[in-house]
């Protein structure tokens, strides 16, 4: 991988080479703790900075569950969550934009709000990072690009294998708008995450590169796939190795895995990434174990369990970035940060690809 001159987060590559960086945990898990109702999602009762007043009071669809809208209607909730993760020790926090694309927001008839959601979400995360940053510990905003609820590679109709409910161009346009909003709002890093369809991810990476070319910006890119079952493949059928070779052209600062199986079952796939991508930093932010609807967070693992498991990844020299996905909280992130603080970060072999090709 050739060296890239970044226009933002220039310190991050050096940090990853020196120590394990900490990513934040679940946004949705924390939002659930506020027990917001339909009226609260519409902004009722909030009169603080950035409030929307009656803007969504009479919106024609139910919008409870549209977590990305909360950046507009309840910015206090999103800022509070960001600050809790930063206080726990996170170096990078994700914007509240997992579903902030025109494709995903179409489920709520709010596609036209996607750009605004990304700008405002990035600004909220930027303000939180600026509040907690110090010269010795800068904090970074990771602009999150989620997978959308549609897949470009797989038919939604079992009776018609050739059917598709989204095109590459639709995804590209949606991701371009999202990237533009995130960068303009103050993101330091672009995180293409929870990838279950490599073609969706390629549309995102194409759009990101297109925006970089048009704007002159060049932010570090983090790419994170999700292994959906014990076969070790993402939903669209690729192994971890095949997935990496499909996206390495984007020259990400880090490649990794998140969500899905939890740390215990994710380990062999992180080991696989470590072997096939020795010239790239590795990230890992698993769920707090497997889902359990009876648990308070929907997952069983307590902070001490999750932190012990991911510390084993660090001790084995497999990772450069650690964090949490579904079911994790600031307590989980604090425990992870403390557990891996004394452990060395994974070293890189920058010449590996060229030697291998020769």
Question: Does residue 42 sit within a domain?
Answer: no
* Number of domains present in the structure of the chain: 1
Encode burial over 40-66: b for 16+ CB neighbours within 10 A, e otherwise: bbbbbebeeebebeeebeeeeeebeeb
Give pTM, 2 decimals: 0.95
The CATH number for 325's domain is 3.20.20.330
Question: Does residue 271 sit within a domain?
Answer: yes
Question: Does residue 49 sit within a domain?
Answer: no
Q: How far is C-alpha 40 from the chain's CA centre?
A: 25
pLDDT tens-digit readout, 70-123: 999 999 999 999 999 999 999 999 999 999 999 999 999 999 999 999 999 999
**Residues 220, 190 contacting (CB under 8 angstroms):** yes
Residues placed in the known binding site:
259, 325-326
pLDDT tens-digit readout, 8-38: 999 999 999 999 999 999 999 999 999 999 9
Question: Does residue 81 sit within a domain?
Answer: no
Structural domain for 292, as ranges: 11-27+87-341
Question: Does residue 238 sit within a domain?
Answer: yes
The whole-number pLDDT of residue 352 equals 53
User: Residue 63: which region, alpha, beta or left (left: phi > 0; alpha: psi -120 to 50)?
Assistant: alpha
Instruction: Using pLDDT thresholds of 50, 70 and 90, give the confidence band for residue 351.
Output: low
Residues placed in the known binding site for Zn(2+):
259, 325-326
Question: Does residue 75 sit within a domain?
Answer: no
Question: Does residue 79 sit within a domain?
Answer: no
pLDDT tens-digit readout, 216-271: 999 999 999 999 888 889 999 999 999 999 999 999 999 999 998 889 999 999 99
Question: Does residue 48 sit within a domain?
Answer: no
């Amino acid at each position: 991988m050739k060296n890239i001159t970044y226009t933002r987060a220039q310190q991050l590559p050096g940090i990853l080479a020196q120590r394990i960086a900490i990513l934040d945990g679940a946004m949705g898990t924390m939002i659930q703790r506020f027990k917001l109702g339909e009226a609260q999602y519409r902004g009722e009762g909030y009169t603080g900075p950035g409030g929307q007043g009656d803007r969504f009071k009479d919106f024609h669809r139910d919008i409870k569950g549209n977590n990305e809208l909360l950046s507009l209607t309840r910015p206090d909730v999103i800022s509070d969550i960001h600050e809790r993760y930063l206080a726990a020790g996170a170096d990078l926090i994700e914007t509240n934009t997992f579903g902030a694309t025109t494709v995903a927001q179409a489920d709520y008839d709010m596609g036209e709000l996607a750009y605004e959601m990304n700008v405002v979400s990035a600004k909220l995360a930027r303000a939180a990072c600026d509040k907690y940053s110090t010269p010795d510990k800068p904090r970074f905003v990771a602009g999150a690009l989620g997978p959308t609820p549609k897949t470009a590679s797989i038919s939604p109709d079992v009776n018609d294998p050739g059917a598709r409910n989204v095109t590459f161009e639709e995804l590209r346009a949606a991701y371009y708008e999202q990237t533009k909003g995130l960068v303009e709002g103050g993101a330091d890093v672009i995180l293409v995450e929870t990838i279950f369809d490599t073609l969706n991810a390629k549309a995102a990476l194409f759009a990101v590169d297109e925006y970089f070319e048009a704007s002159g910006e060049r932010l570090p890119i983090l790419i994170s796939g999700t292994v959906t079952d014990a076969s070790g493949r993402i939903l669209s059928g690729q192994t971890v190795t095949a997935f990496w070779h499909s996206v390495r052209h984007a020259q990400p600062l880090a490649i990794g895995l998140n969500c899905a199986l939890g740390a215990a079952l994710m380990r062999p796939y992180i080991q696989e990434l470590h072997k096939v991508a020795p010239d790239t930093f590795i990230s890992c932010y698993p769920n707090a174990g497997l889902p359990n609807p009876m648990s308070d967070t929907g997952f069983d693992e307590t902070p001490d369990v999750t932190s012990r498991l991911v510390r084993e990844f660090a001790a084995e020299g497999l990772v450069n970035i650690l964090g949490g996905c579904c079911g994790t909280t600031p307590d989980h992130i604090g425990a992870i940060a403390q557990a891996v603080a004394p452990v060395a970060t994974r070293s890189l072999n920058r010449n590996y690809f060229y030697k291998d090709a020769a």
